[in-house]
Chains A and B, each alone.
Chain A
Amino acid sequence: MLKIKDLNVSINGKKILKGFNLEVNAGEVHAIMGPNGSGKSTLASVIAGRDIFTVDSGEVTYMGKNLLDMPPDERAKEGLFLGFQYPVEIPGVSMINFMRTAINEKRKHYGLEPLTGMEFMKLMEEKKKIVEIQSKLTNRSVNEGFSGGEKKKNEIFQMAFLEPKLAILDETDSGLDIDALKVVANGVNALKKPDNASVVITHYQRLLDYIVPDFVHVLYDGRIVKSGSKELAIELEEKGYEWIKKEAGINEKAESTE
C-alpha cells in the first residue's frame, strides 16, 4: 500500500530524513517510535504533502502511484489521512462546515453527488459516537479553544468521518489520560479492515496496549535503526533509547563534535 524507498528529506538545507525505508501493506498496523527530534513528524508531514520540506531523493509510492507527485488534497481524497501532532486552530471555520466541505470534495472526486443536509447530519451523529465526542465540539470552530485532549479526539473524529485507507497518527496519544487514550485506540481499531492500514507514531508503549501493532520500528536520526514485533516496544520502554543507539553503532559524541 505504501512503499518508501531511501527517502532523504531536508528543510532549509538541514538534513532530517536520511535514507528512510518503510513498507506498509493492507491490513497492517505499524508503530514508529523514537526520541524527540528523530524525524517522526517530518516523515508524517512529507507523506501528507507539506511543501516546506524538500525531498532530496527517494521514492514514495502509495497504491501504486507516485505519492510525491500528488498535491496534498488529492492524497487525502485518495484515502490518506494525517492525524496532526499539533492540530491547527482555525477560528471562524465551523467543524460542521469543514467536515461537510471535506466529505463533499471527496465525493466529487469519486463522481458522487454531495450529501444532503440530512445525510450529512446522520453521518456526523454516527461518527461522533465512535469517538465519544460531545456535540459542543462539532458546533465550534475547528480546534479553537479546544483542550489538548479535545484536539486529539477531534483528529480521531475526522479520521472516523473521512474513512481513510491509510491513517498516519502523529503522537495522537501524547498528553492524554487513560480514558481519552482508549477513545483514540477505539477509533483506530474501528477503522481496522483488511484493506486499510495505519501507522501510529508514538512516544510511549502505553498506546500499544490498546492498539496492537504488527510491526514496531525505531526511528533514530532520520532512519529506521531497528524493526521488530510488539515486544520491541516493551523493551524500549524498559531500557530507553540508549541501547538502541549503541546497537546501531551511533556514536553520539563523535556526531556532536562533527
Chain B
Amino acid sequence: MKELFIEIYNKNKELINANSNEYLRLLRSNAINIFKENGIPSNKTENWRHADIEKRLKHDYYFDFKSKSTSMNVEEIFKCDVYDLDTFSVTMLNGWFVYKNAPITQLEDGTIIGGLSKAIEVYPDIVEKYLGSAADMNKAGLVALNTAFLQDGLFIYVPDNVEVSKPVQIINIVNSEEKLFLQPRHLVVLGKNSKLTLVHCDHSLVHNINFSNTVSEVFVGENAMFENYKVQNIGDNSSLLTNLFIQQKNGSKVSNNALILNGGFTKNYVDVSINGKNCHADLYGLYLVDDKQFADNQVFVKHAEPESTSNQLYKGILDDMAKGVFSGKVLVNKDAQKTQAYQNNNNILLTDDAKIYTQPHLEIYADDVKCSHGATVGQLDPDALFYLHSRGLCEKTARQLLMYAFASEIVNEISIPALRETINIMVEKRLRGELSICDQCLLHCNDKETAVFNIDLNKI
C-alpha cells in the first residue's frame, strides 16, 4: 500500500512540483521521505486499532494533479442556502480551489481569502512562515502523505485587530466519475485581537468511492478568537480523514465543533497546542451514525503554558452496526500550572451490534491543576421513555425526542443562529431516519434520485 503511493509520487513528480517554488519542493521531498519511513498507520497502533484504513485505501484511486485552481461560476453547481447564513463562500471542487472572479481576494479590512496555490505565489512570506510548521508529520496519520502531494486548499490571513464580519464558508465538493483521492491543504492565520469563524461543509456529490485526506493548520494570534464548524455529511462510499492542527497564543480562544451527520468512514484528528496563558479551547463533536458507518474522533490537547483551560465534549448516537471511536488526550506539561482541562464523551447505543470504543486520557506533569475525564455508554433512559409514553407519545416519537435532546447539547453550542437552526433541522431529520441533506443545497449529496451534475473538468 505504501509502495503504491510512493510510486504514484515518483511517476507524477513533475506534475506535482510544477510551478512550485523552492520552499514547496523541499517541503514535499522532505514529506515523502517521512512517509517512506512511517508509511500507512498500522491497525496495531493505539489510535488506528478500530479504523480499518487499509480496507478504505485499497481501491484503485485516481489522483488529479492537472486541474489546478480554476475560475468558474460555482453557483451553477452549488448553492448553499442555509437560511440567512450570510457568509463569504469559497469552494473546493475535487481538491482544487475554484473561484468566480479572482483566485485570491483582499477584503477591505485587509483579510486575504483565496486558494493556497495562488497564495504561495502572491504571499510567499506569510505562507512559508507558517505552512508545515504546525502539522507534525511524525504524528500518526497521513499528514506526511498530504504534505508530499500538497497542491491546493484554502488560505485565509486575518491581519491584527480585524474581526471578519461574516463567517467564511468552505464547501468541499467531490464530483467525479473517477475514484478520486484528494488531499486538500488549508492554512489559516489569525493576527492579534482578530476574529474568524469558519464553516466547513463536506459534501460528496457522487456515490462513487472516494477518499479525502485533509490537513488544516490554524495559527491563532494573541487574544484572537477562532471558531470552526465542520459539517460532515458524506456518502457511505466516501472516506474522510481530517487532521486539524491549531496553535494558540496568549489569551486566544478556540472553539471547534465537528458534526458527523452521515458518512461511511470519518476520522477526525484535532491537535491543539496551547502555547500561551489565559487561553481557552472548546472542542465539541457530535456523531450520528447507522448502518455500517464509522466515526472516529481523536483529540489531543497540549497545555504547554500555565493558566489556560480546555473543554472536550463529544456525544454520539450509534444505530445498527455502526462503530464509533473517541480517543481524547490531554497533556499538561510541567510548567502549565493552574490548567483546567475537562473531557467528556457520552454515547447512546441503539442496538446490541452498535459499538463504541471510548478512551479519555489525561497525562499530567504539573501539580496544581484541575482536570477531569469521563465517558458514558448507555441506552435511552427507560424512565424518561415511559414518562413520555404516559403523555401519549408513541414509541418512535418518544425515542426521537430523547435522542434529539441528547444531541442538542452539542448543537446548542453553535453560535451562528442560522447555522444552528439548520443543523437542528438536519439532526432532527437524521434522527427520524431521513437523510439529512440541507433542503436548499442543490447538491443533495445523499439523494440517490437527484442526477449527478456532470462537470467535465477538462473543459473548465
A binding-site residues for B, Cβ under 8 Å: 48-50, 52, 71-73, 75-77, 81-82, 84, 87-88, 90-93, 97-98, 101-102, 105-106, 109, 141-142, 158, 162
A48, chain B: closest CB distance, angstroms = 5
Query: Cβ of B409: which chain A residues have Cβ within 8 Å of it?
Result: 91-92
Instruction: Give CA–CA (A71, B396) in the complex, Å.
Output: 13
Contact pattern, B 224-263, Cβ under 8 Å of A = 1, otherwise 0 = 0000000000000000000000000000000000000000
Q: Is there contact, CB below 8 Å, between B401 and A105? A: no
Query: Cβ of B398: which chain A residues have Cβ within 8 Å of it?
Result: 73
Q: Is there contact, CB below 8 Å, between B402 and A93? A: yes
Contact pattern, B 378-416, Cβ under 8 Å of A = 1, otherwise 0 = 000111101111111111011001101110110000000
Q: Is there contact, CB below 8 Å, between A102 and B391? A: yes
Query: Cβ of B393: which chain A residues have Cβ within 8 Å of it?
Result: 73, 101-102, 105
Query: Cβ of A49: which chain B residues have Cβ within 8 Å of it?
Result: 389-390
Query: Cβ of B401: which chain A residues have Cβ within 8 Å of it?
Result: 93, 97-98, 101
Query: Cβ of A109: which chain B residues have Cβ within 8 Å of it?
Result: 392
B binding-site residues for A, Cβ under 8 Å: 381-384, 386-395, 397-398, 401-402, 404-406, 408-409
Q: Is there contact, CB below 8 Å, between B408 and A92? A: yes
Query: Cβ of B387: which chain A residues have Cβ within 8 Å of it?
Result: 84, 87-88, 90, 142
Query: Cβ of A84: which chain B residues have Cβ within 8 Å of it?
Result: 387, 390
B102, chain A: closest CB distance, angstroms = 45
A238, chain B: closest CB distance, angstroms = 35
A112, chain B: closest CB distance, angstroms = 13
Instruction: Give CA–CA (A102, B397) in the complex, Å.
Output: 10
B294, chain A: closest CB distance, angstroms = 26
Q: Is there contact, CB below 8 Å, between A105 and B392? A: yes
Given A82-B390, A88-B381, A90-B388, 19 extra CB contacts under 8 A: A48-B390, A49-B390, A50-B386, A52-B382, A76-B389, A76-B392, A87-B387, A88-B387, A90-B405, A91-B405, A92-B404, A92-B406, A93-B404, A98-B391, A101-B393, A101-B397, A102-B392, A105-B392, A162-B392
Which chain B residue has the least Cβ–Cβ distance from A89?
A: B384
Given the interface pairs A72-B386, A87-B387, A101-B397, the reply to whether A77 lies near B392 with Cβ below 8 Å is yes
Most buried by B among A50, A72, A87, A142: A72
Query: Cβ of B402: which chain A residues have Cβ within 8 Å of it?
Result: 90, 93
Q: Is there contact, CB below 8 Å, between A73 and B408? A: no
Instruction: Give CA–CA (A49, B395) in the complex, Å.
Output: 13
B174, chain A: closest CB distance, angstroms = 34
Query: Cβ of A98: which chain B residues have Cβ within 8 Å of it?
Result: 388, 391, 401
Query: Cβ of A76: which chain B residues have Cβ within 8 Å of it?
Result: 389-392
Instruction: Give CA–CA (A52, B389) in the complex, Å.
Output: 14
Query: Cβ of A142: which chain B residues have Cβ within 8 Å of it?
Result: 387
A167, chain B: closest CB distance, angstroms = 12
B431, chain A: closest CB distance, angstroms = 12
Query: Cβ of A52: which chain B residues have Cβ within 8 Å of it?
Result: 382
Q: Is there contact, CB below 8 Å, between B405 and A73? A: no
Instruction: Give CA–CA (A77, B391) in the complex, Å.
Output: 8
Q: Is there contact, CB below 8 Å, between A106 and B392? A: yes
15 contacting pairs across A/B (C-beta < 8 A): A71-B389, A71-B395, A73-B395, A76-B390, A88-B384, A88-B387, A90-B384, A90-B387, A90-B388, A92-B406, A92-B408, A93-B404, A105-B394, A158-B391, A162-B392
A182, chain B: closest CB distance, angstroms = 25
Instruction: Give CA–CA (A102, B401) in the complex, Å.
Output: 11
Instruction: Give CA–CA (A50, B390) in the complex, Å.
Output: 9
Instruction: Give CA–CA (A52, B382) in the complex, Å.
Output: 10
Q: Is there contact, CB below 8 Å, between B383 and A72? A: no
B113, chain A: closest CB distance, angstroms = 37
Query: Cβ of A88: which chain B residues have Cβ within 8 Å of it?
Result: 381, 383-384, 386-387
